[in-house]
Amino acid sequence: MRDALGAPESVLVLGGGSDIARATVLALAEGRTKRVVLAGRDAEALAPVADQLLAAGVAQVDVAAFDALDTDDHERVVDEIWAAHGDLDLVLLAFGVLGDQDRFDHDPADAARTAVANYAGAVSSGLAVADHLRTQGHGTLAVLSSVAGERVRADNVVYGSTKAGLDAFAQGLGDRLAGTGARVMVVRPGFVRTSMTEGMPD
């Protein structure tokens, strides 16, 4: 449950390797967040993030395996996380792939994989999370989207269109949860200097 001041005491990050997600949970750790679950494809890569959180004062940090592309496994992963950790106040859906539009133009299969990671993976994991939030009667699913989804440009057709779809899904899911005590929040950052955008001009 959230504490008396409304701060989340427990957080699940789907896409625990995301730079933005890491910065977010570190900021939460300065408040009153006490339990964090980092779910990502590479558990070893999440270890330094877990160490940072523990050093920042988070009492318990656990790591779980989660692959955005493995949509058939998302319900099981989310169910097991809830079974192990119980009540969760905040879920950050923070995974995504930028990709290269020039490459996508000549490799439709790679473009499709990016669409699965950015959109279909968010749908399957988001619905699994929403089911648990609905059952527990509270909690927030915060979906990390992008301003790229508001107007898809020629240089990011695949990425931008997946974010447009993600926006629509998240908004509709929020409507589905109305009256349950759970909610969905969409976050649309502009250009952020992260490992995903490394090498790109400002």
- Which domains are present in the chain? 10-191 (3.40.50.720)
Whether 119 sits among the annotated catalytic residues: the reply is no
**Amino acid code (one letter) for 113:** R
Please pick, among 66, 82, 159, 169, the residue that the annotation labels catalytic: 159
pLDDT for 85: 95
Q: Mind listing the pLDDT tens digit for each residue in 191-201? A: 444 444 444 44
Question: Using a CB cutoff of 8 Å and minimum separation of 24, what contacts does 29-32 make?
Answer: 29/53, 29/56, 29/57, 29/58, 30/56, 30/57, 31/7, 32/3, 32/5, 32/7
Query: For 30-43, how does the pLDDT look when each residue is reduced to its tens digit (9 = 90+)?
Result: 878 999 999 999 98
SS (H, E, C) 36-53: EEEEECCHHHHHHHHHHH
Of the chain, the percentage scoring pLDDT greater than 90 comes to 78
Question: pLDDT for 120-162, tens place per residue?
Answer: 999 999 999 999 999 999 999 999 998 887 888 999 999 999 9
